[in-house]
């Protein structure tokens, strides 16, 4: 059974080849006509040549967001509508791509044209290749260069917005800690001024010892009264004075930590740096990238001859 099917298949193939051999003049003529049309309609008058400019950049100085690495973050920025809209306006791409700005679907057409002419691809070396196409080779180079510049501006502004939030948070917490410090210092000052307490631990030992000496000796007088008053003040307010001092030390440490955080955030806020290392600078191309005329020529001939052959084959079998 298999041998029979094989013989039938081979016979059919031979018949198809024989049929094509009989029609070779017609197929050749169709191919020549298609080749002429392809040549004519691929001329610059019908298909304006486009030039490509290429740049390769590597992410730098990008912070970590969730699970995204620097390369993924940069890809997100490059594909943002903010960068796209800036390039569209900066280089008047509606005219470049011949899109009517009064058309209600203009943005849809523009997105499609933009994606076709401007691409961002990750390389195997974890860098990003920027390709731009334009009918003007200098414009293609300028668009690629502007993409890199705008990319840095967008990232810098985004980073500054983040650091500005950190500055505000640290500034507010510093103010809160400063208010607490001022309040504690006022309470400590009031206790110190009113009750003569300067150092709870040291005074407790000395005043208690001196007061006990007075009691044991039975001496009275001004010195005894002062020692007794200070001893009683230490009993009533000393612990509170000591607790205020302990709180003051803790809050002061928190205040200093927030101040260090604020200074660091201010440094990050005011720094000016780039976020892309340019490995390959965009250049003006001296050779068109599109259309590839020989490819159009060959494709047109092959497609026309193939379509004609299939059509003749179908019609031939119908006649049978």
* For range 89-102, the mean pLDDT: 88
Q: Give residue 238's pLDDT.
A: 63
What is the distance between the alpha carbons of residues 17 and 286, in angstroms, rounded to a whole number?
46
**Half-sphere exposure of residue 319, counting CA atoms within 13 Å on the CB side?**
6
**Residue 91 domain-assigned (yes or no):** no
Q: How far apart are CA 194 and CA 188, in angstroms?
A: 10
pLDDT tens column, 158-211: 888 888 888 888 888 888 888 888 888 887 777 766 665 656 555 555 655 554
In this predicted structure, the answer to whether residue 125 has a pLDDT above a threshold of 60 is yes
Q: pLDDT tens for residues 244-273? A: 778 888 888 888 888 888 888 888 788 777
Q: pLDDT, tens digit, for every residue of 303-314?
A: 776 676 666 666
User: Full-prediction pTM beyond 0.85?
Assistant: no
Q: Answer yes or no: is 215 within a domain.
A: yes
95-108 average pLDDT score? 88
Show the CA angle centred on residue 129, arms to residues 123 and 134, nearest 5°: 150
- How many Cβ atoms are within 10 Å of 23's Cβ, its own excluded? 15
205 located within any domain:
yes
For residue 64, the model assigns a pLDDT of 66
The verdict on residue 245 lying in a domain is yes
What value does the mean pLDDT take over residues 4-18?
Answer: 50
Whether residue 71 is contained in a domain is answered as: no
Give mean pLDDT, residues 97-106.
Answer: 87
pLDDT of the residue at 278: 87
Structural domains in the chain (count): 1
Q: Is residue 48 part of a domain?
A: no
Q: Give the residue, 91 or 16, on which the prediction is more confident.
A: 91
What pLDDT does 314 receive? Answer: 63
Domain that holds residue 189: 175-270
User: Which of 118-122, 158-162, 286-290 is predicted with the least confidence, judged by mean pLDDT?
Assistant: 286-290
pLDDT value of residue 299: 76
What's the confidence (pLDDT) of residue 267? 84
Is 218 a domain residue? Answer: yes
Q: Is the separation of the CB atoms in 276 and 74 below 8 Å?
A: yes
Question: Which DSSP letter does residue 43 get?
Answer: S
Instruction: Give the pLDDT confidence of 227-252 residue by residue, as tens digits.
Output: 556 566 666 666 676 777 788 888 88
Q: From CA 155, how far away is CA 307, in angstroms rounded?
A: 52
Residues 16-38, mean pLDDT to the nearest whole number = 64
Say what the pLDDT of residue 167 is: 87
**Among 3-12, 100-109, 297-306, which stretch is predicted with the lowest mean pLDDT?**
3-12
Q: Which of 142-151, 252-261, 270-279 has the lowest mean pLDDT?
A: 270-279
Please choose, from the candidates 257, 250, 258, 255, the residue with its C-alpha nearest in 3D space to the C-alpha of residue 170.
258
Q: Is the pLDDT of residue 131 over 90?
A: yes
- Write down the mean pLDDT value for the chain: 75
Whether residue 250 is contained in a domain is answered as: yes
**104-141 in b/e burial notation, b at 16+ Cβ within 10 A?**
eeeeeebeebbeebbebeeeeeebbbbbbbbeebebbb
Q: Tens digit of pLDDT for each residue in 59-95?
A: 887 766 656 677 888 888 899 999 999 999 999 999 8
pLDDT over 90, % of the chain: 16
Where do we find the tokens 């000052």? 189
Percent of the chain predicted with pLDDT > 70? 61
Q: DSSP 3-state assignment of 309?
A: helix
For residue 277, what are the contacts with CB-CB under 8 A and spacing of at least 6? 57, 58, 59, 60
Predicted confidence band at 54 (pLDDT cuts at 50, 70, 90)?
Answer: very high
Q: How confident is the model at residue 4 (pLDDT cuts 50, 70, 90)?
A: very low
């Amino acid at each position: 059974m298999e041998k029979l099917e094989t013989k039938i298949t081979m016979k059919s193939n031979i018949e198809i080849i024989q049929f094509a051999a009989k029609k070779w003049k017609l197929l050749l003529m169709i191919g020549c006509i298609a080749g002429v049309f392809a040549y004519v309609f691929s001329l610059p008058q019908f298909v304006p040549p486009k030039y490509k400019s290429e740049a390769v950049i590597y992410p730098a100085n990008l912070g970590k967001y969730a699970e995204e690495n620097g390369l993924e973050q940069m890809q997100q920025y490059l594909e943002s509508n903010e960068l796209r809209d800036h390039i569209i306006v900066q280089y008047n791409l509606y005219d470049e791509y011949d899109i009517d700005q009064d058309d209600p679907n203009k943005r849809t057409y523009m997105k499609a044209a933009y994606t076709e002419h401007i691409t961002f691809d990750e390389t195997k070396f974890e860098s990003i290749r920027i390709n731009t196409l334009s009918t003007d080779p200098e414009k293609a180079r300028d668009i690629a260069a502007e993409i890199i510049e705008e990319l840095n501006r967008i990232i810098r502004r985004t980073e500054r917005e983040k650091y500005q939030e950190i500055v505000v948070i640290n500034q507010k917490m510093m103010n809160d800690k400063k208010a607490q410090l001022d309040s504690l210092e006022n309470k400590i000052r009031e206790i110190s001024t009113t009750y003569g307490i300067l150092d709870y631990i040291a005074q407790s030992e000395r005043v208690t010892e001196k007061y006990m000496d007075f009691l044991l000796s039975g001496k009275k007088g001004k010195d005894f009264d002062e020692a007794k008053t200070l001893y009683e003040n230490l009993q009533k307010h000393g612990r509170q004075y000591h607790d205020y001092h302990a709180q003051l030390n803790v809050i002061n440490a928190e205040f200093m930590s927030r101040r260090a955080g604020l200074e660091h955030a201010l440094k990050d806020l005011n720094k000016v740096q780039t976020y892309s290392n340019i490995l390959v600078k965009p250049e003006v191309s001296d050779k068109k990238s599109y259309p590839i005329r020989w490819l159009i020529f060959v494709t047109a001939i092959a497609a026309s001859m193939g379509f004609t052959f299939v059509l003749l084959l179908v019609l031939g079998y119908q006649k049978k």
